[in-house]
Amino acid sequence: MNYIALKMLVDDRAKYLGLIFSIAFAAFLISHQCSIFAGLMSRTTSQIKDVTDASVWVMDASVQYVDEVKALPETELYRVRAVSGVEWAVRLFKGLPTAKAADGRFRTAILMGLDDASLAGAPRNMLVGSIDSLREPDAVVIDLAGYRYFYPDGPLELGRELELNDRRARIVGICNASAPFQTFPVMFSRYSVAMNYVGPQRNMMSFILAEPKPGVPARELAARIGAETGLKALTGPAFGWATIMYYIRNTGIPVNFGITVIVALIVGTVVSGQTFYIFAIENMKHFGALKAIGVTDARLTGMILLQAALVGFIGYALGICMTTVFFLATKDIIHLRGFIVYGEIAAGTFFIILFIIAIASLLSIRRVRNLEPAAVFRG
């Protein structure tokens, strides 16, 4: 019976390919848009993820996400250091100076000012140069995407100079930094040097990075700091999720991507359902003949589900392959780097496709189960 079911399906090439295409199209749109959405949300936390040597971020109590900076007075650093369980705590500056190359090319840059003594928060994936070179005068480390914006051709070369707010900055290192939400160059300098690039203000410290003593959980230390200082203290992952939730609540990004996914779901269900129903109608004589020779309704239902499962599996595989090929083809484009098909999204898409083929086969199953065997002998 399984062979007959597959033979019926494959012999009608037009509808067979139409079913596969509709499922593949739905799987591609769902997995592609969800992956881009997840990638964009991940980008909002890029500066948080790149800080690997501190477990707790401390900030003003009103700060909601990483790009919203309210500077802290220097006295807060010493209050945090005095909290029980703190191994060390250091300053971190985050600003947006204007960077300009010698040829006049300019761009707003994300500047991270690191603690002068420890350089805590420095990038660890260096391509050229060393983090220790930041101790030199006017030294900055720039990410590869930013370097290629200012110097698109030729090899990676140290010693080149930029202007940050009309002050000299010398590139002493090039790193791989996580892609930011905004496609700005990412630069790192010492805290004292960063102050020269942005100009003095009454309060300059954007965040405090803290590390717990051995045996003290990061979440517990964050709670202690918050209780004793009145500041907001979050672990890196918690701060990342707070940033993501801010963008989800306060931007139209989820709505836009959600509409595309819903449209893909509706189109996939309607097109595949209609095509599969027409396919079943055109094969009613075959189903009627099988019923007439004693094939049970349960067996006929199994045949239809087998046909639907085959179409769904092939369509899902093609859709996921198309999404994967797209991201592989664009991985070397600097502004599109970092987008991937997440395993959770691939699994979620699989269950959505199962839902689509279940709906698509439902009407066909109902029609076949209500078919009278004698109908095959009429006219």
Question: What is the pLDDT averaged over residues 271-283?
Answer: 71
Question: What is the pLDDT averaged over residues 90-108?
Answer: 89
Confidence of residue 10 (pLDDT cuts 50, 70, 90): low
- Residue, of 106 and 368, whose pLDDT is higher: 106
Confidence of residue 312 (pLDDT cuts 50, 70, 90): confident
Q: Is the pLDDT reported for residue 258 higher than 90? A: no
Question: What is the pLDDT averaged over residues 309-321?
Answer: 87
Model confidence over 119-132: pLDDT tens digits? Answer: 998 888 899 999 99
pLDDT reported for residue 4: 59
| Cα–Cα separations (whole angstroms), residue 233 to 149, 207, 209 | 35, 10, 10
First CA to last CA distance, the chain? 26
Model confidence over 14-66: pLDDT tens digits? Answer: 777 777 888 888 888 888 888 989 888 998 998 999 888 899 999 999 999 99
For the chain, the structural domain boundaries read 2-43+252-377, 73-230
Q: What is the pTM of this model?
A: 0.82
Model confidence over 61-78: pLDDT tens digits? Answer: 999 999 888 899 999 999
Residue 310 tokens read as 């085959």
pLDDT reported for residue 11: 61
Report the alpha-carbon distance of residue 46 to residue 65 in Å, rounded: 12
β 56-59/207-212 pair status: antiparallel
pLDDT reported for residue 189: 93
Q: Could you write out the DSSP letters of every residue in 279-343?
A: HHHHTHHHHHHHHHTT--HHHHHHHHHHHHHHHHHHHHHHHHHHHHHHHHHHTTSGGGTT----H
The residue type of 355 is F
Question: What is the pLDDT averaged over residues 323-340?
Answer: 83
Confidence of residue 377 (pLDDT cuts 50, 70, 90): low
β 86-95/207-212 pair status: antiparallel
pLDDT reported for residue 56: 95
- Residue, of 87 and 3, whose pLDDT is higher: 87
pLDDT reported for residue 181: 85
- Residue, of 274 and 358, whose pLDDT is higher: 358
